[in-house]
Amino acid sequence: MQKCCYYRPVILTSELSKVFETIVRDQVVEFLEVNKLIRDLPHGFRKDSSCLSNTLLFLDKVLHSVYEGYDVDVVFLDLAKAFDKVPHN
């Protein structure tokens, strides 16, 4: 059996840089939230938000639009494996 020629290299980042990155990220996010410079929409990347909360919000908006008599079209794209299908030569 031939070994696969597609692989993702492992990035070895020092623990100190990871700690520094966490501190900087937390400070930036806090600044953006305190000054109301960031919206509540990125559910998967915000504290106390998840993909489930995003799905429920979406469902609520779709149902509200249907009840109001609007036509609703929804397109779903599955990009989960898009990175794996792109040739990386």
Domain region containing 41: 15-85
pLDDT band at 32 (very low <50, low <70, confident <90, very high): confident
Tell me, yes or no, whether 30 lies in a domain. yes
pTM summary value:
0.44
Q: Residues 51-81: pLDDT tens digits?
A: 777 788 889 999 999 999 999 998 887 777 6
Has residue 6 been placed in a domain?
no
Residue 64 is assigned to a structural domain of this protein: yes
| Predicted confidence (pLDDT) at residue 43 exceeds the cutoff of 90 | no
Convert the chain into a string of H (helix), E (strand) and C (coil): CCCCCCCCCCCCCCHHHHHHHHHHHHHHHHHHHHCCCCCCCCHHHCCCCCHHHHHHHHHHHHHHHHHCCCCCCCCCCCCCCHHHHCCCC
Number of domains in the chain: 1
d(CA 43, CA 58): 11
For residue 58, tell me if it sits in a domain.
yes
Look at residue 5 and tell me if it is in a domain.
no
